[in-house]
Amino acid sequence: EVQLVESGGAVVQPGGSLRISCAASGFSFKDYAMHWVRQAPGKGLEWVSLISRDSSITYYKDSVKGRFTISRDNSKDSLYLQMNSLRTEDTAFYYCLREYYGQYHWGQGTLVTVSS
Amino acid sequence: DIQVTQYPSSLSASLGDRVTITCRASQNINDNVAWFQQKPGKAPKSLISAASSLQSGVPSRFSGSGSGTDFTLTISSLQPEDFATYYCQQYNRPPLTFGGGTKVEIK
């Protein structure tokens, strides 16, 4: 069974940093591109970032460029999102997604709250 | 960036009704559209990829169509478990973008 389990969500002060993780199991992690998507409480879905299978290609939403870094460790079947200079508008559930030609599998999400 | 406009933002329907949700992209995205269902307090679930390909385990009352800029998600006969919020997404090229969502409520 495919499983994506996010962790690391926390309450952080504005300007702070946080790294969230996604542990993958039940499939060959190295064979899939991976994404982070977020959802502010009560709001819609917002794509954040993607990384290719071998980490050679990454993309980011404009508002997080230069602040967030996506990475993966295929030896540990894990995906990461390093978030720096956090803003209140980054408060959201962060979901890890596996993608294969537009077919997605979602994790359950981890909550990041940016508040003083 | 490619903008995706989804409508209606909400609708009320009865059990057994046929429901159609539309997404329009600001430029040609071929068939690179996915549809998702989200229930309150839960992670989204994938329904359709490539505009019309049903994901494994998704009931056949769900269907998708369209190509280019205009896409639709149709539920042929609304069931109690279908009351949820639905989102489209273009994945033609980054940044990937979602529609604003359609909340399907009970009439």
The answer to whether residue A107 neighbours chain B at the CB level (below 8 Å) is yes
Query: Do the strands B45-49 and B53-54 form a parallel or antiparallel pair, or are they unpaired?
Result: antiparallel
Chains A–B, number of C-beta pairs less than 8 Å apart: 55
Q: Do B46 and A44 count as a contact with CB atoms less than 8 A apart?
A: no
Tell me the three state secondary structure of residue B43: coil
Chain A, window 6-35: residues with a beta carbon less than 8 angstroms from a chain B beta carbon: 35
B98 with A44: Cβ contact below 8 A: yes
Buried b / exposed e over A20-44, threshold 16 CB at 10 Å, is bbbbbeebebeebbbbbbbbeeeee
Question: Among B75, B61, B5, which Cα is nearest to B33's?
Answer: B5
For residue A98 the two structure tokens come to 């596996």
The model's pLDDT over A78-92, given as tens digits with 9 standing for 90+, comes to 999 999 999 999 999
Distance (Å, whole) CA A113 – CA A108:
16
Averaged pLDDT of chain A: 98
| CA–CA distance, B59 with B55 (Å, rounded to integer) | 9
All residues of chain A having their beta carbon less than 8 Å from the beta carbon of residue B38 are: 45
Rounded Cα distance between B6 and A53, Å, is: 31
User: B50 and A107 in contact by Cβ < 8 A?
Assistant: no
Tell me how crowded residue B76 is: count the other CB atoms within 10 A of its CB.
Answer: 15
The encoded tokens of residue A25 equal 């199991």
Determine what percent of chain B is predicted with pLDDT higher than 70. Answer: 100
Phi, psi (rounded to 5 degrees) for A57: -125, 130
Residue A38 reports pLDDT greater than 90: yes
Q: Each residue of A43-85: pLDDT tens digit? A: 999 999 999 999 999 999 999 999 999 999 999 999 999 999 9
Query: In chain A, which residues have their Cβ closer than 8 Å to the Cβ of B3?
Result: none
Report, as ranges of residue numbers, the positions in chain B whose pLDDT lies below 70. none
Q: Does A101 touch chain B (CB under 8 A)?
A: yes
Helix, strand, coil shares, percent, chain B, to 5: 5, 50, 50
How much is the pLDDT for B106? 87
Nearest CB neighbour to A108, from listed B43, B87, B100 = B43
